[in-house]
Amino acid sequence: MDIKLPEGGLVIGVGTDIIEIDRIRRVYEKHPERFLTRVFTEQEREYCVSKKNPLPHLAARFAAKEAISKTFTTGIGKELGWKSMEVVKGSREEPIVALDEQGMALLKAVGGSDVLLSLSHTDNYAQAVAVLVKQP
């Protein structure tokens, strides 16, 4: 079994977010293309829309981006854009945070080495918890 979790390290930031899936549904139905292309990377869009019901998956990734931005204490904006963060699948289907150049620069600036992520969703809510860690 190839399990690769960071060894030790210090927690330097924690972020969480919960969102009603119905809120994502309303935005998605009103402005589907604009919402998808503004918030999600191409890979995230492809993954979510391939699902029978894409809304819980979109909501979980939306919550993930909010939670990740909270770990950096920046929110989403000038320092960290919506598409600077991407949720990808690891070898065991676990969510992994991929950062673009802007995100990696911010990670380096705060002294971090990894952003760990956990996602959950029910019929009504999606939640994400992100932890910013620094390896010794």
The CA-based angle 77-28-37, given to 5 degrees, is 50
Q: Tokens 């920046």: give the residue.
A: 74
- From 4, 31, 57, 121, the catalytic residue: 121
CB atoms closer than 10 angstroms to residue 13: 17
Q: Identify whether 4 is a catalytic site residue.
A: no
Distances (CA, A) of 124 to 4, 16, 27: 32, 17, 15
Contact 90, 97 (CB under 8 A): no
CA distance 121 to 57: 8
- From 4, 30, 52, 70, the catalytic residue: 70
Q: Identify whether 30 is a catalytic site residue.
A: no
Q: Known catalytic residues?
A: 70, 121
